[in-house]
Structure formats: structure tokens, C-alpha cells
Amino acid sequence: MELLHFKSMARSLSGLATLLVFLGTSVAQAEDVKPWNEKLYNPQTSEGDVVLPMPCGGAMVFRKVVIPQQSVVDDYKITLGGSDENVGYAESPYVTYIAGAFSGQADEWYYLISKYEVMSAQYDALSDKCPKPVMPGRLPKVNISWMQAMSFAENYSDWLVKNAPDKLPKEDGSYGYLRLPSDIEWEFAARGGINVEKADFQERLFPMEEGLARYAWFQGTKSANGKLQLAGLLKPNPLGLHDVLGNADEMTVNLFQLNKLDRPHGQAGGYSVRGGNYFTSQESMRTSYRVEQSFMTDKGARKSKTTGFRLVLTGPVVTSKERLAEIQKEWERLGSAQPAAPVAKAVSIGEKVSDDPIVELGAIIKEITDDNAKKRLNDVRLAMRSSIQARDLQRSEAAKAALRLGAFLGGKIKGDAIAVQTLGDFIKERKKRQEESGQKDRYLAAREEKLNEERRILDENLSFYAYNVITTADNYEQSLLEKQLKSVSVEAKGRGADTTIPKAALFLQHALFYQRTMQVKKGPWLDDWVKLEIE
């Protein structure tokens, strides 16, 4: 009887183990496991790291990619691609737009991207057997297909929702999820996002104070020497991402298309692979690096010893019925000739409904019964909206540039005024000593000449500052300037240039004063700058 009971228990335990594996949870994972040593998944900790748990006591680290954005339909204009003509078919410069999935602090949206390439131990943590947490597990996971990478992202998302939902960001009640990054998401993050100036953003490489070898693994004995390296040994890019260039090149979710100068070629091929690898030459390293890999070879699904991946954590656009209604409302406002143009109401035929020509044209279209004429007018209305939207975007960029210029000029006249005051005080002291001693100061005349020159420069710069105040006030309405100040502030925080924020705000204050009064107050404006405290 005891023997039969033992065999029955054994069969029950065996069945339980089989059930757990079937449900995607191994016996090893069901038991208590020790958390991994942080060095195995985050070898270089830094402020702003977002750590998500994994099965088997593991973890994966992400970085926020912040985007200046004020609504769900708002986005951020960027220029991607490179200037290498020999690869222009794949990497020609192009203007595009990016937006975040999650609303964070005021005027900031974001998505998350993994700080390191997905490591072997992290990949294995989602298998049926927990990996032994050892240092070789920090090698990037390579030799997998695109489908396997996407499957890993799906399985990890599923595990997080079921085991650590409180760790996932949510937007409008909708959980975030993991996937491969798009070409745009990958390159924006690889270049450093808003953490670099726009001029640096469009350079061949992100800013590297210590040279390429300290930031990327490339071909040759001075770098990778033909071997895949542990993740996180080198310095990060300005966004805090490691090995975004070199080591393992990285899959994206995008299908590869050729560039036909002004548009993508019609064929969608394999998938895009970004960043170069440890066999890429130093001369070929660039953030625009983009090549095609086929999904299949004559041996089956393509797998490469040089290709790995990193993940993004993002979410859906339409998260709820309420969000859809918000999107529809915002969409209707796009391309309006006037901000927040009223919706056309039912009126008698011939009655004007709005001073906004887009709204007025919409009302006219509703009155027309001829289907052909209605379609033609709808096409005209859409073209007008698109044209107005393009104009508004140009005005927004110009207004933002005016605020940044105003902040720079204000800082300049502040420095000039302090220099004039300091030199003037010094000359007064020297004159006093000359009178008291009765001895002539032979350098006094030269210093007074220098003071006059400094005063001339200050007057010139102050006049230029006042001119910029006037033109900014004349060209842009208050609501646009206030909106662009928010964008300037988000960008400045990203670059660590926080002093730009109070300077741009003071310049805007002077521009709005001029809008209200039409008065130029160079003296008081200069006093405001001198009094402005900048840490």
C-alpha cells in the first residue's frame, strides 16, 4: 500500500510539473530564486534607470526617451539619415516625426528603450529552465531569428502583465508592452534624443569626447578584435544607452525599403538592422547605419552571430473610446486657420458660419448636393488644411528659435553689463587712489578707453536684443510663444542646460510686454537681466 501511495504521489508531482511547463512556468521558476547580482544586468548604473523584473530573479534596464509633446496628436520634428552618398539608397537624410506613448511630466511624453542589448541570460530567463547567473550571460543574445526576437518581446510582455503589472507604465488605463523598435525610435535614441543639440544630433556620430573606441566595439585589434563583447563595458551615448553602435547590430520592427530621393521605394523587403557590429570598420561606424537582412536563407530562418536586438516599451495610440474622441477633436483642429476654430453649425443656405475659411468651406460643402463637386471641394479643403498645418509647423519652429536666440542675447547683455559695471568700479577706485596719492596712473586712460568700448558693445547688443523682442512680439501670438517655451524647457532639461529656461522665460516676458504696450524699455529690460539669478 505504501509503495502504491508513493507511486501515486510521484505521478501527481510529475503531472504538476508537466502542467507548469505547459502554462509557460517551469518548476525552477515556480520555486524561490535569488535575485541576480546587479552587475549581471546593469553593469553601469546611472540616474534615471528604469528596472523591470524578469523570471528567475533577473531584470532588464530601460532608459526614458523624452519627447517635447503637449497632446496625443502632438509630435516632434526631426531629421534622420546620413550624408554618405555611397549608401544614399538606404540612408539619405529625411524629415520625419516622433512621439511618445506615455504622458509623463508636464509637456513631456516618452517611450522606454533597453539600456543594453538584450543579454543571453535575459533571453534564457524566459525559457523553461532558469539560466545560471554567470558573467558570460552578459553577452548580447545573437543567432536568433527576427521572429524569435519578436516572440521574446511578446513572452516578456505577457510575463510582466501577469507577474509585475505595477512596474509597467500605463497610458489612459492601457498597459505598455515590449517590441522591437521602429527605425525612427531606434535612430532617435541612438543619436541621443533631445539630450543633444540639434546640430550635434545630425552629425555622423553622437558626441564622443573620448573618441569612438571608448563608445563602440568595431573591427580591429584596437577594439573588438573579431569577438562579441560583454554588454556595458564601454561608455554610453548621451541618452545613457550602451553599445548602441557596434558589438551586435540590432534588429528593428521595420521592413527595409530603398530610398528614391523624395520617397521610399515601393518594395518592402527584409527587416532593417541598425548600428553596425564588431566586424564593422571604424570608418563605417555611424548612427545612420542601416542595412537589410532577409527573413529567410536556404537553410531556413536567418540567424546571425553578429545580430542581436534591444527592446522598446511603448503602447497603443487609441487607448480608449475617450482617447479616440480626444484624437478626433484634436484632428479636426489641425490645419485650422484660427486656433480652436468653432465647429460649423447648421444654418440657412448662404449664411456665413465662421471667419475661419476652413470651417466656412466645410459648411459650404454640406450645402452642396452634387457629389462630384462635393468631392472636389473636400479635396481642396484637405489640401488647404495640410498647407496651413505645414505653415503652422514652420511658425512653431521659428518661434522656438526666436526664444532660444532671445535667451542667448539676454545672457550676453547680462554678461556685458556686469563687465561694464566691474570695469567702471575698478576705474573709479583707481581714480580715487590717484587723487589721494597725487601720482598719475599711466594705465588709467587705456582702461577708460576699454570701458568706452565695452559700453559701445553693450549698447549694440542691447539694441539687437530689443529688435529681437519687437520682431518676436510682432510675428508670433502669445499662445504660440507660450507653447514653444514649454518645448524649449523640455529640450533644455534633456541637455542639462537648465539655465536656458529662466532666460527664455524672461525674454518672453519682455516680448509679451511689448505686445501689450508697444513700448521699448531697453533700460528696464537690461536691469531685469542683471537681476536675473541663474544657478
**Domain layout of the chain by residue ranges:** 47-314, 321-388, 393-531
Q: What is the pLDDT along the chain (535 residues), one digit of tens a residue?
A: 444 443 444 444 444 344 333 334 443 344 468 999 999 999 999 999 999 999 999 999 999 999 999 989 999 999 999 988 899 999 999 999 999 999 988 889 999 999 999 999 999 999 888 998 999 999 999 999 999 999 999 999 999 999 999 999 999 999 999 999 999 999 999 999 999 998 899 999 999 999 999 999 999 999 999 999 999 999 999 999 999 999 999 999 999 999 998 889 999 999 999 999 999 999 999 999 999 999 999 999 999 999 999 999 999 999 999 999 999 988 888 877 655 444 444 444 456 666 677 777 777 888 888 888 888 888 888 888 888 888 888 999 999 999 999 999 999 999 999 999 999 888 888 888 878 787 887 788 888 899 999 999 999 999 999 999 999 999 999 999 999 999 999 999 999 999 999 999 999 999 999 999 999 999 999 999 999 988 6
What is residue 420's predicted lDDT score, i.e. its pLDDT? 93
Superfamily of domain 47-314: paralog of FGE (formylglycine-generating enzyme) (3.90.1580.10)
Task: Please tell me the predicted confidence (pLDDT) of residue 427.
Answer: 86
CA–CA dist 199, 196 (Å, integer): 8
What pLDDT is stored for residue 1 in this prediction? 40
Give the separation between CA 179 and CA 315, rounded to whole angstroms. 10
Instruction: Write down the pLDDT at residue 104.
Output: 84
Q: What share of the chain is helix, strand, coil (3-state, %, to 5)?
A: 50, 15, 40
CB of 115 closer than 8 Å to CB of 61: yes
> How many other C-beta atoms can be found within 10 angstroms of the C-beta atom of residue 351?
10
Report yes or no: 313 and 169 within 8 Å, Cβ to Cβ: yes
Residue 385 burial (10 A CB sphere; 0-12, 13-18, 19+): buried
Q: Which H or E run includes 328?
A: helix 321-333
Q: 72 phi and psi, to 5 degrees?
A: -65, -25
The C-alpha R_g of the chain, in whole angstroms, comes to 30
pLDDT of residue 364: 81
DSSP state of 264: B
**Whose CA is closest to 179, among 203, 204, 147, 201?**
147
Just give the CATH number of 393-531: 1.20.1050
SS (H, E, C) 501-533: HHHHHHHHHHHHHHHHHCCCCHHHHHHHHHHCC
- Name the pTM for this structure: 0.83
440 vs 130, 434, 451, CA distance in Å?
A: 87, 6, 19
Identical topology for domains 47-314 and 393-531? no
Angle subtended at Cα 99 by Cα 70 and Cα 250, rounded to the nearest 5 degrees: 155
Q: Residue 13: its pLDDT value, please?
A: 40
